[in-house]
Structure 1
């Protein structure tokens, strides 16, 4: 049985090199995207043009957003890609604040 079927979740994120801990995210008060982020909502690819891949999972009613194909949380280029995705998600009302979770 897949691990995700056991838990109720609002989001899932995957980051490397302490992206959030090193304060590389675009917003202090919002969920960071890091390398990948899963949000329980449908998000159009056109809403986050900086993301190289946006995958909607109908069976989970959520969207996986990948900020960069090969992400390194210490690389300035990777950080900029993740920040751009975070800014686009927030601008379109998709990046929740920590307080709202």
Structure 2
């Protein structure tokens, strides 16, 4: 793996935008992100300087630190649209990673973005898909995309999300609809009566190697899936979200 990867999560935030709720949502995702790499076990608040960005650890084993909550409450006091919380793993170079939520009141869109350099990511597509599934459970997003840095230039449609390595859609998608996909992972949730139901599908373009935008075959497969999805009105336009 040579390039950074990003996970983009687009949603309408159903709950309130209190600092404690937003940070708890990030913590729930971090629990799964930590499994991707040892470099994702520690998270810090960002700051104006490197020294200030190393002052506050955000999470303990199972909760958020009171010091980080106090700092964030002070930073975001009086601001509600958008509320932006950014954290990072304290590493630089190929081990660096960041996680950011830009939350806006519904019906406006909110966005969660994780960016991980090669040593802060995983080459195991199953582990990455687990992070995507977890994000779907936390936020019920419109889509979740996982792409290597640079794939934006290769997407089939610039006005729609790209498939890249994998794409979550809140739809039931079967192999007959996207035969080019290497794997389809059903994401399960609960209906109004508490019964298990499929809430979406993760469409995976390649499983035999980490996706690379420098690999023409990987790009070809992802583009073909994007075309299939558009033909079936399954890949939304950004403007329609």
TM class by shorter chain equals: 0.7 to 0.9
Task: Tell which structure's C-alpha radius of gyration is larger.
Answer: 2
Match runs of 1:3-82 below 5 Å: 3=29, 4=135, 5-20=137-152, 23-59=153-189, 61-69=199-207, 70=209, 71-82=211-222
TM-score normalised to structure 2 length: 0.39
- Aligned residue pairs: how many? 99
Q: Which has the higher contact order (CA 8 A, sep 6+)?
A: 1
Query: 1-side partners of 2:199 and 2:146: how far apart?
Result: 19
Structure 2: gaps spanning 5 or more residues: 1-26, 30-134, 190-197
Change (3 A) 1:89 1:14: same
TM-score normalised to structure 1 length: 0.87
Query: 2-side partners of 1:40 and 1:2: how far apart?
Result: 20
Q: Quote the RMSD (CA, aligned, Å).
A: 1.7
Change (3 A) 1:56 1:8: closer
Deviations for 1:34-84, whole angstroms, at most 9, x for unmatched residues? 110001111111100000101121326010000112211111111101001
